[in-house]
Amino acid sequence: MKPPRLRHRLEYGALRAVTAVLRLMPLDVARRVGAFIGRLGYRPLGIRRTTVERQLAAAFPGLAPPAVATMARAAYAHLGRLAIELALLPHLKQEGLRALFEEDSDLGLVQRLAAGGRGIVLCTGHVGNWELTGAYLAMHGLPLDAVVRRMANPLFDGFLNRTRSRVGMRVIYDSDAVRQITRGLKEGRHAALVADQGVLGLASSFVTFFGRPAKTPRGPAVFALKFDAPVVFCAAVLQPSGRYRFMAEEVPVVKTGDREADVDATVQRFTSALERLVRRYPEQYFWHHRRWKRQPPDTPPELRDPAG
């Protein structure tokens, strides 16, 4: 990793200063501040507003423009709230982290599949608070290997990874994922991957997301098929109570003898699980990323990237 530049130090200094102020506030007040700041990104700043609105309109074609605008504004508020939670996460003790979650959860499903030291492939998407998803599992004693990307700002990168390690996760950069996850699954550790953004250079499949082909990482499916590991789609989703609920469902992994087809089918199944959750909580999805930016060249015009 390259040493931080002056710009990186200034950005990180600003984060530390803001965090110091936020720590003086009750958490619910700090979250409201985050939601307010997030909404500013929608209007008047208009940061990626066209991308968000076009993708929402494509995913929910029955919505009238005013409803799309309302949903988009809520997505910006959620992103601002999430940023505040992430900034404060290192300062939460175990009790504070537990207090962020409702007692009712699908944790039992994960624990049953992990019984006997069996390694699980846990995948999620950019919905709810994906950092809290891993933190929740680690908090309950599940040995977790979290696959992450290296951030451009090395100081931010270090901040995030120290936070992840502090709550009990072992951090693995995506460049080391194949070797480290292979070893971890053999040892009965669980692999945690955010799998809803296709990236150049990483193995991906084109599967359907809200009716359009979207490039999606194959990693969870490849690991599951190779090691006969269960796949669980999970997420921490904010509830009306102001707390998160840990939700999970097992994703079927079927071996037909055609490895490539089996991988693609598994990728489609966990992507469909994500879509079902996003349909329930559309304002908690990261619509700011162009989900359909990379598609097959023969994609019909009506199914191409709506934000392109």
Model confidence pLDDT, tens digit, residues 143-158:
999 999 889 999 999 9
Q: Are 15 and 9 in contact (CB under 8 A)?
A: no
- Give the pair of three-digit tokens for residue 264: 């693609």
Residue 199's pLDDT band (cuts 50, 70, 90) = low
Band (pLDDT 50/70/90 cuts) for residue 33 is very high
Q: Quickly state the pLDDT bin for 94 (edges 50, 70, 90).
A: confident
Q: Give the pLDDT score at 116.
A: 85
Q: Are 57 and 49 in contact (CB under 8 A)?
A: no
Query: Is the per-residue pLDDT at 63 higher than 70?
Result: yes
Predicted local confidence at residue 110, as pLDDT:
97
CB 306 within 8 A of CB 58: yes
Q: Could you tell me what percent of the chain has a pLDDT over 90? A: 87
**The pLDDT value given to residue 175:** 86
Tokens found for residue 229: 């590991």
Average pLDDT score, the chain: 94
- Which tokens in the block code for residue 291? 């989900």
User: pTM for the full model?
Assistant: 0.94
Structural contact between residues 233 and 123, judged by C-beta atoms closer than 8 angstroms = yes
Give the whole-angstrom CA distance, residue 110 versus residue 115.
9
Segment 158-174 mean pLDDT: 91
Please state which of the ranges 159-163, 184-188, 226-230 shows the lowest mean pLDDT.
159-163
For range 60-84, the mean pLDDT: 97
Q: Hey, which bits of the chain come out as E strands?
A: 121-124, 144-148, 169-173, 190-194, 204-209, 212-217, 231-238, 244-251
The answer to whether 174 touches 128, Cβ cutoff 8 Å, is no
Token representation of residue 223: 């690991």
Instruction: Say if residue 44 is preceded by a cis peptide, omega within 30 of 0.
Output: yes
Q: What is the pLDDT of residue 1?
A: 67
Give the model confidence (pLDDT) of 250-298 as tens digits. Answer: 999 999 999 999 999 999 999 999 999 999 999 999 999 999 999 999 9
Closest C-alpha to 35, from 74, 80, 75:
80
Q: What pLDDT, on a 0 to 100 scale, did the predictor assign at position 167? A: 87
Confidence of residue 200 (pLDDT cuts 50, 70, 90): low
Share of the chain above pLDDT 70, in %: 98
